[in-house]
Chain A
Amino acid sequence: MSENFDRPEIRKPENLIYSRTKVLTDNIMHYCPGCGHGTAHRILAEVIDEMGIQNDTIGVAPVGCSVLAYNYLDVDMAEAAHGRAPALATAIKRLNPNKFVFTYQGDGDLAAIGTGETIHACNRGEKIVIIFINNGIYGMTGGQMAPTTLEGMKTATCPYGRDISIMGNPLKMTELVSHLKGTYYVTRQSVQTPASVRKTKAALRKAFEYQKDGKGACFVEIVSSCNSGWKMTPVQANKWMEENMFPFYELGDIKVDGELVK
């Protein structure tokens, strides 16, 4: 198949049916095959591209699998300490109110070590977009229990399954922030099917449009699989996610235009 790329009679603009978004760089992503990060990056990049705000967007990605997001997203970006992205984003937005500012955080980052920063940035109504990738596990460090790990789910630090009586309950951060006055738009989406990808992209677009209008904090959770951390094939992981994650982490809008809808 690869020889076709070298055939100039085929490489013509009229034959182009799919290409890299220009807001993504040429760097090869380090994410595992089957991981949701690549898709989430792509639709985020498409939204930035379609809104024409590439030169006005500043992103913050803290410690986690997506700490290297700055290698893939072709916008000005900062890497942050574990959990602290909303604090950085608060200052960046307040000092540069005309820029579009987003954070891109995992569950361990946003819902464990960075709970304080997350809650308070949301509660202050910082005019930023928070993108929250929830795969119920610490992927980067090798599959340890996350605050969002489901009851009974096995990880490196709960090898016999999460025992609620010892390890506490999985945390629904998105519902939690939806009850804060400072949040304007709160939604939970996924990226495992073409339809869900389209819905998530629409949600991201909405969140950035709200920021353009100076509305409060917009919070987009993307429930994602971590097939390597979950020790499954990508297809098994998606199926497991649909059967186990979605019943607990229900998809859909939770707060729209500052009003709870769920």
Chain B
Amino acid sequence: MTEEIIIAGFGGQGVLSMGKILAYSGIMQQQEVSWMPSYGPEMRGGTANVTVILSDERISSPILNQFDTAIILNQQSLDKFEASVKPGGVLLYDPNGITHAPTRKDINIYTIHAAEEAAKSGMMKTFNMIVLGAFLKIKPIVEEENIEKGLKKSLPERHHKMIPDNLKAVNLGKEKVILAQKA
């Protein structure tokens, strides 16, 4: 199994940490992983993206131009990465702030109203975990117990009390994900 993912949005949406939790979860189930961020000034308030690869084999290039899954959290990223989803692949996005919806017909498109759900539940910080839950519903590539282990490894100890809320958010995302278009 090899899953090649791009996660893209604004800096501050938890794009990089979502990728990190996914990567750590992969390690917990003995997979090879790579996490390659865009870095530099663009991280501070501009767009941020990270390429995450989980594989049962040695990972070659950490940088890709075609992805199995694109997880998209703002319009700029949708414009940039819609074309990079492999035919038959997955595009998951939060419609919040999206003015031009994706138009491709050869990919599976899902939506998750994560910003809205996070605001409703009063836990804005778990926004990215709702998105992660939505992704894992579509592609259950990591076990739930490994997500928990991944959270423990990637969060500093002082934030470990947040783990139950984060796991709740993952489950919320799994419930709320909507299939918008089948390839």
A–B contact (CB under 8 angstroms): no
